[in-house]
Amino acid sequence: MPAKEAGGAKKSAGAKKKSAGAKKKAAAAKEPATGTRPSRAQRAEAKRRDRIKKMRSRAGSRYRVHYDIDGPRVRLGIAWFAGAMVALALGVPGVALYFGVTFAAAGAHALRTWRARGADVDPRDALIGVAVVIAAAAVHPRAMGVALWLLAAGAIALAVRRGARGMRPAVAASSLLLQCALPTAVAGGCLVLLADLEIWSAIALVLLASAYETGDYLIGSGATNSVEGPVAGGVAVAVVALAVAALGFPPFSVGEAALFGIAVGPGAFAGQMLASVVLPHARAFAPALRRVDSLLIVAPLWYLGISGFVV
């Protein structure tokens, strides 16, 4: 009996060794052999990760454009453009409502990034201030001017109210409010004024800005440098500007349409830079601001140029 038990134990140990060896062989079969060429899917995934790494490594500066490639950005962009076209078709009330919400959210998102860094600010202040300015723009240009003065006075009042916590942090908080709210309020208000002045000029501006954003995002999000995206956006703007000139959007002549249209490219890029300066850093998460950053400078310039030299 002892001999038989010993023999059985040896057989059991041998069976275990064979089983372990079989498992190792199966695991080795699943893993690619060293030195083998990776599959197309693996190469694509490695390339995507490398692109994201490069984009994040260069996006820390406040003077760069950060492309957020996570999530359904293209579909959201198409949905926003479709909503903008519907709002423009409804006239000034639709423009004031749609872009008022968008630009007010942009100011709030920008201020929220500073609160995330510890600043004593409330994003609702920017939300309300920008919304009031854009609503006033729908009434009259002078009403918009008064609303901008009230926004500045409100920032000062907040500084006085928070003065008990210390004048220096109170002034810093009010400065951040104006830094985030003024660019979005002026751009949104000027877009409403432009729609009231000549709705077709507002439609042309949104078309051109969207063309820039499309070319810039599609090329820039996959580029390894910060030049290709804006250049692609400028090319897209030039193509759409020629179409606008050919279709004869009022109140432009052919030459005016081409001149104003081509100027959108540099202006949209400058707006992106302004948004990066408003934020703590280029990678700060402010999706609403990044949605309208190409209009921050172009919208006021278009309104001033068209009201002063075209209409």
pLDDT string in tens for the chain (311-residue length): 444 444 454 445 555 545 555 555 554 444 444 457 788 888 877 776 665 555 444 445 666 777 776 666 778 889 999 999 999 999 999 999 999 999 999 999 999 999 988 888 899 999 999 999 999 999 999 999 999 999 999 988 887 777 656 777 788 889 999 999 999 999 999 999 999 999 999 999 999 999 999 999 988 887 777 888 999 999 999 999 999 888 888 888 888 888 899 899 999 999 999 999 999 888 888 999 999 999 999 999 999 999 988 87
Cα–Cα distance measured from residue 30 to residue 32, given in angstroms and rounded to the nearest whole number: 6
Q: How high is the pLDDT of residue 178? A: 94
* List of residues 6+ apart from 69 with CB closer than 8 A: 52, 55, 221
Give the global pTM: 0.78
> SS3 of 239, please?
helix
How far is CA 10 from each of CA 3, 6, 18, 23, 88, rounded to the nearest angstrom? 11, 6, 12, 20, 85
Number of neighbouring beta carbons within 10 Å of residue 195:
28
167-197 helix and 92-116 helix, angle to the nearest 10 degrees:
160
